[in-house]
Amino acid sequence: MDEFKTIRAAYDRILPLPDAEWADFCRCLVQKRSDKGEFLIREGQVENHIHFLANGATRNYFINDGKEFTVDFHFKGDFVTAYYSFISREPSEIFIELLEDAETLSIEYTALQDFYRKSCLGERIGRLIAESQYMKRLKKEMDFLSLTAEQRYLKLLDKNPTLVSRLSVKHLSSYLGVQPESLSRIRKSSSRN
């Protein structure tokens, strides 16, 4: 039950839960292994889970006019979901693709709502998660508004070098909002200095 320790550690970083509530919460978790290339959700489905990534890596992306655009990556220790759909209960525009084999612990929407109803702390965790997701999105939006493609790449490289090194040019470029060819050129020109 190593995965449960990891997920508790992840929760403790947000807000420590007393043992009783933790036990309650664990009872809702469903464990699963999945293979690289599988999907946690596809466009058109309503997201009914929040997954904890005990292992593996994922990519959240959507398709517009036949082209893929990456919104987010998640790695071991992260929570993953098509959050917009999970909140709004509308069909997801987002696909979540496994970039590696993964182990997940997942909680269902209804189970989480029950947990919210029972526990103020659960409600609070929900708020803190929503707030942190908001912050992440706003930062990226501000970057899109005020930075060039090269500046966005250099900033990401600075703040998150592991992420940059682990991902393919194709995936990384679609996250940065440029074509793969452009990222390739950006890399060359900024490594020259």
Contact between 187 and DNA per CB under 7 A: yes
**Which of 47, 97 has the CB closer to DNA?**
97
How many residues belong to the site for DNA (CB under 7 A)? Answer: 18
**Which of 77, 180 has the CB closer to DNA?**
180
Closest by CA to 175, choosing from 1, 59, 12, 40, is 59
Q: How far is the CB of 80 from a copy of itself (least distance, A)?
A: 15
Task: Name 63's bridge partners.
Answer: 68
Helix (H) or strand (E) holding 108: strand 102-108
In the list DNA, a copy of itself, none, the entry touching 144 (Cβ below 5 to 8 angstroms by class) is: a copy of itself
Residues 6+ apart with CB under 8 A from 159: none
Are 152 and 129 spatial neighbours (Cβ–Cβ below 8 Å)?
Answer: no
Q: How far is the CB of 55 from DNA (least distance, A)?
A: 18
Q: How far is the CB of 29 from a copy of itself (least distance, A)?
A: 21
Are 80 and 51 spatial neighbours (Cβ–Cβ below 8 Å)?
Answer: yes
In the list DNA, a copy of itself, none, the entry touching 156 (Cβ below 5 to 8 angstroms by class) is: none
Kindly list the residues in this chain that would bind a copy of itself in the complex (CB under 8 A): 62, 64-65, 67, 69, 71, 83-84, 87-88, 93, 116, 120, 123-124, 126-127, 130-131, 133-135, 137-142, 144-147, 174, 177
Distance CA 129, CA 94 (A): 19
Tokens of 193: 């200095």
